[in-house]
Each structure stands twice: as structure tokens, then as C-alpha cells.
């Protein structure tokens, strides 16, 4: 071991030790682990002073890009696969798979009734999404809340186009009926690029990565006595399903948005044929003691 290696180990030991008196044991564990892993990165990759300065400037720029409707740190976490990994390590298996929250859950969804439309623009391919929410054992969950958000047919969320889309376009907060069902009218969402006009765009550009996400609709499902579930459904057969910029595609979440031509079925959903219909079951898991603790 060279003198510098010894000196480096001493710095790591001192930084880990500095957190020894942290009153909250979980915070202590998270911070001491953070120091160990960050230091292990520095010791392996040996960034130069200039590279470290660039990293500081980069993170500063990420922070300064954030505002109430733009969350560049979530976006950075997303493109590094960290958001998806956090989702994955928190999954217990058994119900519908989870996936990333993404950076666009930044405003409250307006309360809507089953059958309402969430599309306020009337541009795009008419679509009905019909969900059934159950517990992991298949029993329907009445009164579960289903928070929905999606982009427009042009690939933008309401908050990205404040001059074009009314706030709340593509969003809705629903409750399931006695059979655990809820449905709503919308337009088929488009694939879209994540925002590239900030530091995350610089990163993608410098690394030859495309910024696209396959078309999807976001959900957060919450039911009494169950773990909240954050997930998407992805539109089958669209582009970028195999190269999502944020690594969030799971096969079980890819849903058929089938074309329906029958006028009678269209009438049942208060739309005109032809329309696209996605039927999807969402199963959430009962809470465990661990969740309560």
C-alpha cells in the first residue's frame, strides 16, 4: 500500500466515524453507507480535481434547473437507472409490478368520476382505459384511489405547455366502485423525449443516448390496508419499448390498446367508434407489519 492509499483510507475512516453520534440509527446507516460507496467510487475512478469541479458545477446546474414544475434531480436519477432500482428493491413481489414515479407528478390531479374524460384538448386518438383494482388475492378493492397522469398526443405533459394545455389535462384522481372498477376516457399518449433543455439533456447528448420514453400512462393506486403502488401501463407495439431512457419498462406492464370498431361498445363508453380500449387489472399488496413500522 502506498502512502497515498493509506492517506485515502484514513480520510474514509474519519468521514465514516464522523457520523457515529447520529441519533437516528437509520440515518446513520444511510449516511455511513453513502460515505463508503462514494469514497469507493473516488478511490476506484480517481477523478482529477478538474473532473470533481465539473461534477460540482454539474450538480449545481441540476439543482438550479429545478422549480415547482421541473424536477431535474428526479430526471437525473431516472437516466442513471437509480429511480428504477429504488422501485425494484422495494418491490415485494406478488402484485402488479411497480415502476418509476418520473418527474411529472408535480401538481395535484383534479378529482374526477369514473367515466369522465381526462383529455381536455380533444386532439388525438380516442381511447378508453378500464381498470380493475384488486388485492393480491384477486378480491376487488372498492374505494381505492387511482391517480392518473399522462402526456398529450404530442408527447407533452400539461406543465410543460402552460400556454397550450390547461393545467389538469391528462390528469385525474378517481375512486374505484364496489367491484374495484374505474374507467376513463382519454387520448392515446405518445412516446416522447424527456426534457433535454437542462443538464440531463447535456448528459444524454455527450453520451450518445436518445431521450425517448415509450408511450405510457402513469398510476398511483392507494387502497386501505395495502401498500401504495406507483406504476405505468405501456402502449404495446409503440417505439422505444426496448430502450426506455429511464429503464422503466417491465413486460407485465405492456398493455394492448386494442382498436374497437363496434358502435355498441363505443356507446357503452360514451365514445364513437372506432376507439382504442385498454383493459388492465392492478393488484396491490396487503400491508405488512414492516410497512407500519
> Is 219 among the residues that bind a second copy (CB under 8 A)?
no
Min dist. Cβ of residue 285 to a second copy (A): 13
Residue 29: which H helix or E strand, with range?
Answer: helix 25-45
Binding residues with a second copy: total (CB under 8 A): 73
Where in 180-209 is the site for a second copy (CB under 8 A)?
203, 206-209
> Is 136 among the residues that bind a second copy (CB under 8 A)?
no
Nearer to a second copy, 61 or 255 (CB): 61
Give the range of 59-67, 211-219, 254-262, 264-272 binding a second copy by CB under 8 A: 59-67
Strand 126-135 and strand 229-235: the pairing is unpaired
Do 80 and 246 meet the contact criterion of CB atoms below 8 Å apart?
no
Determine how many CB atoms are found less than 10 A away from the CB of residue 95: 21
Where in 232-271 is the site for a second copy (CB under 8 A)?
247
Q: Spell out where 49-180 has E strands.
A: 126-135, 145-150, 171-175
> Is 51 among the residues that bind a second copy (CB under 8 A)?
yes
Binding mask 94-133 for a second copy (x = CB under 8 A): -------x--------------------------------
Give the range of 65-73, 113-121, 190-198, 272-280 binding a second copy by CB under 8 A: 65-73
Determine how many CB atoms are found less than 10 A away from the CB of residue 220: 18
* Residue 138 half-sphere exposure toward CB, CA atoms < 13 A: 0
- In angstroms, the CA 127 to CA 39 distance is 50
> Is 85 among the residues that bind a second copy (CB under 8 A)?
yes
- In angstroms, the CA 150 to CA 247 distance is 18
Among 1, 25, 28, 148, binds a second copy (CB under 8 A): 28
Give the distance from CA 56 to its chain's centroid.
26
Q: Please give the DSSP secondary-structure letter assigned to residue 252.
A: G
> Is 143 among the residues that bind a second copy (CB under 8 A)?
no
> Is 289 among the residues that bind a second copy (CB under 8 A)?
no
Min dist. Cβ of residue 201 to a second copy (A): 15
Amino acid at each position: 500500500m502506498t502512502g497515498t492509499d493509506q492517506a485515502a483510507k484514513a480520510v474514509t475512516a474519519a468521514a465514516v466515524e464522523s457520523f457515529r453520534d447520529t441519533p437516528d440509527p437509520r440515518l446513520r446507516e444511510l449516511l455511513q453507507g453513502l460515505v463508503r460507496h462514494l469514497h469507493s467510487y473516488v478511490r476506484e475512478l480517481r477523478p482529477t480535481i478538474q473532473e470533481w469541479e465539473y461534477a460540482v458545477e454539474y450538480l449545481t446546474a441540476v439543482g438550479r434547473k429545478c422549480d415547482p414544475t421541473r424536477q431535474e434531480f428526479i430526471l437525473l436519477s431516472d437516466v442513471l437507472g437509480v429511480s428504477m432500482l429504488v422501485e425494484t428493491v422495494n418491490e415485494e413481489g406478488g402484485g402488479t409490478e411497480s415502476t418509476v414515479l418520473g418527474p411529472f407528478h408535480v401538481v395535484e390531479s383534479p378529482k374526477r368520476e369514473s367515466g369522465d374524460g381526462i383529455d381536455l384538448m380533444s386532439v388525438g386518438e380516442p381511447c378508453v382505459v378500464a381498470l380493475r383494482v384488486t388485492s393480491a388475492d384477486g378480491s376487488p378493492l372498492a374505494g381505492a384511489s387511482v391517480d392518473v397522469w399522462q402526456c398529450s398526443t404530442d408527447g407533452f405533459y400539461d406543465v410543460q405547455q402552460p400556454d397550450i394545455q390547461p393545467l389538469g389535462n391528462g390528469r385525474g384522481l378517481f375512486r374505484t366502485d364496489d367491484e374495484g372498477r374505474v374507467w376513463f376516457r382519454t387520448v392515446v399518449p405518445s412516446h416522447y423525449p424527456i426534457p433535454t433543455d437542462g443538464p440531463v439533456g447535456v448528459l444524454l447528448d455527450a453520451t450518445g443516448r436518445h431521450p425517448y420514453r415509450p408511450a405510457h400512462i402513469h398510476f398511483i393506486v392507494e387502497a386501505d390496508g395495502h401498500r401504495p403502488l406507483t406504476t405505468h401501463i405501456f402502449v404495446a407495439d409503440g417505439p422505444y419499448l426496448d430502450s426506455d431512457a429511464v429503464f422503466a419498462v417491465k413486460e407485465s406492464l405492456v398493455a394492448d390498446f386494442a382498436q374497437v370498431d363496434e358502435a355498441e361498445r363505443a356507446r357503452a363508453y360514451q365514445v364513437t367508434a372506432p376507439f382504442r380500449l385498454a383493459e388492465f387489472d392492478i393488484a396491490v399488496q396487503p400491508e405488512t407489519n414492516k410497512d407500519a413500522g
